[in-house]
Structure 1
């Protein structure tokens, strides 16, 4: 019934009961129409309300944003910089490392530095012979050698040893020892997102911790990957139970969100826990954090006091650098809650007590003292465990594939997503992908810029035209793809990466830049020396890399 007719009937009505009835009918119609037309848009608005803006601001707008971020909560943030150092812990050449190097080179990332190159790790009871532990030691050595003049510059540490996910995928250990990250977007998009993620995170900290933010000088400057499982650490330890609620929408997987209902008991969980496959932050803050990580490595016990009896935590969870960073994040979040309680006053708008959360179905009624048997921690004065660590919750920097096989896929953004994805699993998230390319991608350098001067660029060569790995639960296009789930995807999905079918011509252009600049494009540095692309990735690898021979 048209609302105008309803209103006319109300005006003519002499009956109070009829009036109430008609008003109720009208309100009911409004609510029904609102529900029918707003479900998808409402989710998008909520997602945008908690996720950082993906727009690339103008220089004036960026300056205003920088000023605003510096005054947020009275905590001064470091100045913005576009200077990026890329570190790749890797000890020997292999084809998956070359895929990482190729994607970075073609997209224009700075020439990476290989950490622990040509070193041998042979401790039998540690993963990779101890290579994962060495990531902490060797990266710290590199950071300590950097001059203080570079303290505000950004450093990205990417795992080229493979992900520590033997608990999720206990297959051939050799598959976990090789690089598993590909780039698909430009470095300018990566850097813009680093700053926007931190800005949004610091606003959330202001709301969550209240006056403790300014009083204690708390802010986020370091970003880790985010995953769905607190692994490999045991869930009753400080590494896991103090971790705060995820900021992702509470209905991300519909009614199954944060339940064990799914393809496995982790697939319907929102990303909430640390993954050390990639870490980015300012040199000074990364140096401080890696120093603490090294202290933990040096102090590690063969057997941990709070092991659950399985001895799974022995020898630093058998040599997992991620277990160390998990512990550090858990300790940081534990002490942040201590700070919140220290500074909270009744009636404060921000910094209110957090609601209960669940850890793999177990109630955490108090993040400092949960009811179940747990590893305790001292309530400390000051902020000795504060390192500005945070997570890439929204997969803006990287998409983890472990426990997320149904969350992301390859799509073109000129074609309706429904027509590309096909039949989905019964526990898959609601499809929310759109045909929109975010502004921070569309305004970046176009994909085939290297081939434009030679006139060899494909006819369809814009970001709208190419296949991009997309999180279809959040309509998010990540900068990187982290193959820490199905390791076989590094082979069968390689042709899906937009640059691979044109890799030969694109790399030819990269290597021409290398010749004109006397090195520094296509290869990598190690201990001050430059190793060229042909040395790192010899012709024997061409069949897999280029697939044109």
Structure 2
């Protein structure tokens, strides 16, 4: 079989796989310096020295895996990349990232998870991300922080400060990295990173068009008004405060009331640093005034402040030069914009309606419409697709064969499923058991551990001239997480000892397969 007879995307993937398998290096289990941004086009990640790529195969094993991978790639070719309905063309991971491609950009995708370390819930979050090829996250431990006098810092302030410090201390080379802050410890991934990013771009573009209809070009430019940081807006207020700015209702496009939540924040590092600088300042000021605070009321206040500032701007005519002052300490417009669509996240809480969310299948064989599943989901890599092959019994299944949680009120399948602290505890087990990958999470985690250093997502952004955007993990090691002191914590070793191993997390609650803790399968 001649390689040149393959379609271009498949040919590139096979050639890259062949190059990978020539390496004689063993899997690198440590952590790399995450402050060295992948140089754009001059030395893309695919062209880095072989010793920096994760590679676990011996020569003999490599030949076997090459054959299996080749067959799988031929199968993957039956899922051709097609234009989705909005901003992005989604590709099979690893299928296209050639050195020197002139229309491509390399970026890091950073996941930030402020949560308590070593809990079963945290490991559930890690597993749901790993099976979908999300990068290993940064975990920010904000528990029990003390000030210089030894006093316990307010937990909300400590959480915001910890996130801000992570953003502040990163190298300037990471300024344009896309970061996803998952401030809720009870969160599961449901859809692939390609879908998250494409929907994020959709919402950003829609907000930009809305701003152009509201303000003239001079006001937008001089006021630095543009969509920069996405935050969630939910049907129920998550703030612990029942008065004041804690539960301000903002009007969605359909005229329904929505409430700002800190559970999900997405933006570039540079823009997130600014908003968290102001969030910390607001929290400190409120505490100094003996006001009760929580993270949701802080972000509701900042969004309200921004909207009031925008309303004070002239819609037409000359704009005062004072608006051009753009120092991040004095910024009045943060570029905050809420996700009113419900396409990125759904949060179950005590205030949620009993029929607000439901589990659905989109299998045409069971009576579902062929077009009922969103195109960005159906065109993303199949659920059990991996670069090293899959179990023949379930590996070829399509997204139409697996269940999803759907937000009925928004008629959307969200990327993330979240549970508020006041939600019915039964959701923690009942809903988790229904996630699409069970009972195959263990095998998918094996594949994730074996996979070389490849992009987490590859998309084409039509708003940027169809430029290919490749989003890479910020560090090489997996599965596990990196803490803000640049220490990588493994899920588990060969003896089952690790941050999600025995005596730390309940493996049965995580995998639901009765096989005990996960053991690292790598040599």
Does the TM-score normalized on the shorter chain lie above 0.5?
Answer: yes
Contact 1:221–1:390, Cα closer than 8 Å, also in 2: yes
CA distance in 1, matches of 2:488, 2:407: 36
Residue 335 of structure 2 corresponds to 388
1:430-486 deviation line (CA, Å, top 9, x unaligned): xxx995222211221111013971434517611111101112233211111111233
Matches within 5 A, 1:400-411: 400-402=347-349, 403-405=351-353, 406-411=355-360
Give the TM-score taking structure 1 as reference length: 0.61
Contact 1:55–1:438, Cα closer than 8 Å, also in 2: no
Are residue 329 (structure 1) and residue 303 (structure 2) matched? yes
Three-state SS of the structure 2 residue aligned to 1:476 is: coil
Residue 186 of structure 1 corresponds to 192
CA distance in 1, matches of 2:105, 2:339: 19
CA distance in 2, matches of 1:195, 1:214: 21
CA distance in 2, matches of 1:210, 1:129: 44
CA distance in 2, matches of 1:394, 1:238: 23
Contact 1:466–1:498, Cα closer than 8 Å, also in 2: yes
- Report which of the two structures shows the higher radius of gyration computed on alpha carbons: 1
Q: Identify which of 383, 407, 410 aligns with 1:447.
A: 383
Q: CA deviation at 1:240?
A: 5.7
1:105-130 deviation line (CA, Å, top 9, x unaligned): 1111111111127x53599xxxx984
Three-state SS of the structure 2 residue aligned to 1:107 is: coil
Contact 1:410–1:467, Cα closer than 8 Å, also in 2: yes
5+ residue gaps, structure 1: 1-52, 60-78, 163-178, 251-269, 305-313, 346-379, 421-432
Matches within 5 A, 1:251-330: 270=256, 272-301=258-287, 303=289, 314-316=291-293, 320-330=294-304
Q: CA deviation at 1:213?
A: 2.6
Q: CA deviation at 1:300?
A: 2.4
CA distance in 2, matches of 1:238, 1:344: 30
1:236-273 deviation line (CA, Å, top 9, x unaligned): 745665x65211x35xxxxxxxxxxxxxxxxxxx3622
Three-state SS of the structure 2 residue aligned to 1:204 is: helix
Question: Which has more helix, going by share of residues?
Answer: 1
Contact 1:82–1:191, Cα closer than 8 Å, also in 2: no
Residue 226 of structure 1 corresponds to 233
Three-state SS of the structure 1 residue aligned to 2:386 is: helix
CA distance in 1, matches of 2:247, 2:512: 43
1:28-60 deviation line (CA, Å, top 9, x unaligned): xxxxxxxxxxxxxxxxxxxxxxxxx8545449x
Matches within 5 A, 1:39-118: 55=86, 57-58=88-89, 82-116=107-141
Q: CA deviation at 1:315?
A: 3.3
Q: Identify which of 375, 390, 408 aligns with 1:472.
A: 408
Aligned residues: 373
Distance change (3 Å), C-alpha of 1:548 and 1:271: farther
1:261-307 deviation line (CA, Å, top 9, x unaligned): xxxxxxxxx36221111111011110111111111222223555xxx
Q: CA deviation at 1:519?
A: 6.0
Distance change (3 Å), C-alpha of 1:457 and 1:385: farther
Q: CA deviation at 1:543?
A: 1.4
Are residue 463 (structure 1) and residue 470 (structure 2) matched? no
Are residue 139 (structure 1) and residue 163 (structure 2) matched? yes
Three-state SS of the structure 2 residue aligned to 1:110 is: coil
Distance change (3 Å), C-alpha of 1:332 and 1:142: same
CA distance in 2, matches of 1:531, 1:483: 25
5+ residue gaps, structure 2: 1-83, 91-103, 326-330, 455-472, 493-497, 515-523
Residue 346 of structure 2 corresponds to 399
CA distance in 1, matches of 2:120, 2:171: 33
Residue 539 of structure 1 corresponds to 502
Give the TM-score taking structure 2 as reference length: 0.64
CA distance in 2, matches of 1:294, 1:80: 33
Contact 1:396–1:478, Cα closer than 8 Å, also in 2: yes
Distance change (3 Å), C-alpha of 1:445 and 1:416: closer
Q: CA deviation at 1:224?
A: 1.1
Three-state SS of the structure 1 residue aligned to 2:287 is: coil
Q: Identify which of 525, 528, 539 aligns with 2:482.
A: 525
Q: CA deviation at 1:89?
A: 1.0
Residue 343 of structure 1 corresponds to 315
CA distance in 1, matches of 2:279, 2:163: 11
Contact 1:209–1:336, Cα closer than 8 Å, also in 2: no
Contact 2:139–2:481, Cα closer than 8 Å, also in 1: yes
Residue 11 of structure 1 corresponds to none
Q: Identify which of 344, 350, 373 aligns with 1:437.
A: 373
Distance change (3 Å), C-alpha of 1:58 and 1:181: closer
Q: Identify which of 215, 220, 237 aligns with 1:213.
A: 220
Question: Which has more strand, going by share of residues?
Answer: 2
Q: CA deviation at 1:199?
A: 0.5
Matches within 5 A, 1:509-524: 509-513=447-451, 520-524=477-481
Are residue 200 (structure 1) and residue 149 (structure 2) matched? no
Residue 481 of structure 1 corresponds to 417
CA distance in 2, matches of 1:450, 1:93: 27
Distance change (3 Å), C-alpha of 1:92 and 1:130: farther
C-alpha root-mean-square deviation of aligned residues, in Å? 3.4
Report 1 or 2 for greater relative contact order, CA contacts < 8 Å, sequence distance ≥ 6. 2
Three-state SS of the structure 1 residue aligned to 2:292 is: helix
Residue 45 of structure 2 corresponds to none
Are residue 414 (structure 1) and residue 368 (structure 2) matched? no
